[in-house]
């Protein structure tokens, strides 16, 4: 059993393993690389066998005090991402018969369940009415808002769409989401109509469904240089929310939450919503149930002594 393997060398092998054998996305590999590099940032030039419970405890304390651009410390969720990456790395080392700490020795920090923020129908209408659809940019932005709420797409999935991915007549298409898993996407007639209006105004042949209209215009045969970025969509949604007078924090993910909430409030079953959101585990989808179960209100109205007629 190799007992003197350098940490950086093993990490490089692990990242290759993720790409070649696990077929993980480049974004996932980059995230794992980032998290695992933070171990060597803290501990320096170490061997895999040097990673023990005491080193991990000190690393967690270091992470807990590590600031970001927007906060004085990393959130517990972000800290857990580092620990999840390290656990996966240690499992890989065990497969390679490297002397390494058992992955099950690492416990994640307890985190509070995130509160679901969603928009009600009146807020959604106000948000969607903000873009000035006479212009090309406004038409694009209205199409994006309608598509996000209609489909439940993640913003990364939305910006990765090409024109030929979306069947506007059938109002359905396939998208590859997290974990390289494909799932069907269905959209409303309103969303299809706004996308079609936007595409009719386009004077280009670029492949991306949604493109930007500022910045560098250097040539690229694929048109990917013009592809709208996730960050641009986030800024755009936040700006229209402010213009609409919506005080809560609104992001593309808020529209994904609103999509799920709308389905469940109107009687959709949890398993179907799980499939449409692309959640691997139904427990992830269950964060919506405490705010969307119409049956609970009926029970309250029927049986609570203060509300019975």
Active site residues: 154, 178, 253, 256, 279, 288
Backbone angles phi, psi at 268, to 5 degrees: -65, 150
Q: Sort 210 into a burial class: Cβ within 10 Å, 0-12 / 13-18 / 19+.
A: buried
The closest alpha carbon to 133, from 193, 214, 223, 215, belongs to 193
Distance CA 81, CA 285 (A): 20
Asked whether the beta carbons of 244 and 122 are under 8 A apart, the reply is no
Q: Are 147 and 159 in contact (CB under 8 A)?
A: no
Task: Give the rounded distance of the alpha carbon of 256 from its chain centre.
Answer: 10
């Amino acid at each position: 059993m190799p007992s003197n393997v350098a940490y950086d060398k093993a990490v490089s092998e692990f990242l290759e393993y993720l790409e070649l054998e696990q077929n993980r996305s480049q974004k996932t590999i980059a995230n794992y690389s980032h998290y695992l590099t933070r171990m060597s940032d803290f501990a320096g030039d170490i061997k895999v066998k040097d990673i023990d419970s005491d080193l991990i405890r000190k690393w967690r304390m270091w992470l807990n005090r590590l600031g970001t651009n927007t906060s004085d410390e990393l959130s517990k969720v972000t800290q857990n991402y580092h620990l999840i990456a390290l656990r996966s790395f240690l499992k890989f080392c065990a497969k390679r018969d490297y002397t390494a700490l058992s992955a099950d020795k690492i416990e994640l920090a307890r985190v509070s369940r995130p509160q679901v923020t969603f928009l009600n129908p009146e807020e959604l209408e106000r948000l969607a009415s903000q873009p000035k659809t006479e212009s090309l940019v406004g038409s694009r932005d209205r199409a994006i808002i309608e598509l996000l709420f209609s489909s439940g797409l993640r913003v990364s999935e939305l910006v990765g769409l090409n024109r030929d991915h979306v069947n506007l007549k059938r109002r359905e298409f396939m998208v590859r989401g997290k974990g390289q898993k494909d799932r069907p996407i269905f959209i409303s007639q309103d969303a299809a109509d706004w996308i079609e209006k936007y595409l009719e105004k386009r004077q280009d042949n670029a492949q991306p469904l949604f493109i930007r209209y500022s910045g560098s215009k250097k040539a690229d045969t694929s048109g990917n240089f013009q592809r709208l970025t996730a960050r641009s969509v986030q800024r755009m949604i936040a700006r229209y929310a402010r213009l609409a007078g919506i005080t809560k924090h609104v992001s593309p993910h808020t529209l994904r939450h609103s999509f799920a909430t709308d389905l469940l409030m109107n009687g959709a079953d949890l398993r179907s919503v799980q499939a449409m959101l692309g959640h691997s585990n139904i427990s992830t989808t269950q964060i919506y149930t405490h705010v969307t179960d119409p049956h609970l209100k009926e029970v309250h109205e029927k049986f609570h002594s203060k509300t019975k007629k």
